[in-house]
Amino acid sequence: MSLATHLLCDDCNTVTALTTLVNLCPVCGGLLEVQYDLAGASPNLASHAAANRQQGMWRWRDLLPLPEGATEVSLGEGDTPLMAMEELGARLGIPGLLVKNDGLMPTGSFKDRGFALAVSFARGLGAERGFTYSSGNAGASFAAYCSRAGLDATVFVEAAANDTKVAMISMYGAAVYRLHYDSSAEIFDALDALARAGQHSFVNFVNPIRHEAMKVYAYEICEALDWAVPDVMVHPVGTGGGLWGAWKGFNELRSLGLIDRVPRMVGVQPAVCAPLVDAYENGREATVRTGDASATMAQSIAGDDMIHGGRRILRAIRESGGRAVAVTEEEIAEAMTLLGSAAVAAEPSAAVSVAALLNGREAGWLAEHDTVVAVITGTALKQPGAVLKVARPPRGDVRADAAEWTRIIGAPVFAAPAIHSATSPR
Ligand SMILES: *Cc1c(COP(=O)(O)O)cnc(C)c1O
Ligand SMILES: [Zn+2]
């Protein structure tokens, strides 16, 4: 029950009820402020706050690896919203559509769960520095968690990353270098050589801890659904760490007896560079080099090959009865626009989760009764250039003119009380 009681005017103390639409004080035109009956309710509030559990990823600490005595490095990651998307779902023929919005993570992408855990783990074992290569978001996340933990971070960021992403890595305090290469294979070879030489890598799978944190997807989603299981989980795939971690989490929940089945895992890549889809469709156990990573705006998942041939990811989607889906640049732009209209700001690599659903019913791998979780892995703010490309420009230019604004806005929505005094302070 709301403890709010009334609106009070700053200037003349007039009380206005909360039961009708109003903007300014009806007596003097002053600013109104909501008042509460806090005194009677305070014991209630205190006990409610005390009963609240810790929020975020570390609620699941018992199911995550952390060395004895290690402390958690946290920026408030996890417990992102799982939102029912009735209108968007109806439009796509899947009314049970849900969006897990990881664009709301501390550094704006789903990478934060992984780095919270991997950096905590490494520091707990005495690491003082580490490195990662990154398409942009991983570098920012790694840099932020290293700053928080007091580790020195070096980031090799793909030269194709936009200036904002690169600058964010620097702003979080890491040493950043632009990475140039012709094929992803060159990066994998370098990673392999460094790992064998004892350099501490924070790259998915080369680092065995990072993707573990992605299990928490499964925990959060099933908990929010009161331990029901979605039929389908859709995730963008770069290295596949996100999809693989989620898959592991769902299987653990099944082993724990909390759920009785697992979702069909759907991995999504841009059609112009889709090594996973290529291997999936051709029945191979590993990816081969294919496509042009520079030809997509989904830069966070653009690669012409996958670490260790994407074998784990192919296994997860096949064992789960899921699939790998390629989406066109037009579908990615359309998904960004649809998501925006549904109040979710996704960067292109995140919007592919919804782009994959555009034709799912038609293609026959989605049914009307399916509960589908589409993960939004990063916020649109990370890629301002893509926002400028897909968003409708402003509809015109105006002056501060009440008559002109009224023509644009339309008819008034409440019967405005005649304000008695015209001397309200600005
Ligand atoms: C890194 C990234 C991905 C790909 O994640 P993987 O775990 O490497 O598959 C997808 N979307 C966004 C926004 C990312 O930053
Ligand atoms: Zn081995």
| Domain layout of the chain by residue ranges | 78-109+210-387, 111-196
CB 155 within 8 A of CB 177: yes
Length of the chain: 426
CATH number for the domain running over 111-196: 3.40.50.1100
Q: Is 269 in the pocket of ligand 1 (CB under 6 A)?
A: no
CB 30 within 8 A of CB 9: yes
**pLDDT given for residue 46 in this prediction:** 60
Q: Which of 100, 105, 111 to mutate for ligand 1's pocket (most ligand atoms within 8 Å of CB)?
A: 111
- Count CB atoms within 10 A of the CB of residue 413: 8
Query: Of 241, 226, 230, whose CA–CA distance to 263 is shortest?
Result: 230
Options 3.40.47.10, 3.10.450.40, 3.40.50.1100, 1.10.3720.10; CATH for 78-109+210-387 is: 3.40.50.1100
Chain Cα centroid distance, residue 358 = 20
Taking the CA of 308 as reference, the closest ligand is 2
Chain Cα centroid distance, residue 18 = 36
Strands of 271-359, DSSP E: 323-327
| CB within 8 Å of 266: residues ≥ 6 apart | 232, 233, 234, 235, 317, 322, 323, 324, 325, 356, 365
The three-state DSSP-derived secondary structure of 185-228 is: HHHHHHHHHHHHCCCCECCECCECCHHHHHHHHHHHHHHHCCCC
- Count CB atoms within 10 A of the CB of residue 283: 8
- Same fold flag, 78-109+210-387 and 111-196: yes
* pLDDT per residue as tens, the chain (426 positions): 788 999 999 999 999 999 988 999 999 999 999 998 887 766 666 666 666 567 899 999 999 999 989 999 999 999 999 999 999 999 999 999 999 999 999 999 999 999 999 999 999 999 999 999 999 999 999 999 999 999 999 999 999 999 999 999 999 999 999 999 999 999 999 999 999 999 999 999 999 999 999 999 999 999 999 999 999 999 999 999 999 999 999 999 999 999 999 999 999 999 999 999 999 999 999 999 999 999 999 999 999 999 999 999 999 999 999 999 999 999 999 999 999 999 999 999 999 999 999 999 999 999 999 999 999 999 999 999 999 999 999 999 999 999 999 999 999 888 877 777 756 566
Task: Name the token pair of 13.
Answer: 């103390």
- The answer to whether the pTM exceeds 0.85 is yes
If you measure from the C-alpha of residue 344 to the centroid of ligand 1, how many angstroms do you get, rounded to a whole number?
17
Taking the CA of 107 as reference, the closest ligand is 1
- Tens digits of residue pLDDT in 41-98: 666 666 666 665 678 999 999 999 999 899 999 999 999 999 999 999 999 999 999 9
Contacts 24+ apart (CB under 8 A), 55-62: 55/79, 57/113, 57/116, 57/117, 57/213, 57/216, 58/116, 60/215, 60/216, 60/219
The residues pairing with 96 across neighbouring beta strands, listed in sequence order, are 371
Q: Is 236 in the pocket of ligand 1 (CB under 6 A)?
A: yes
Taking the CA of 139 as reference, the closest ligand is 1
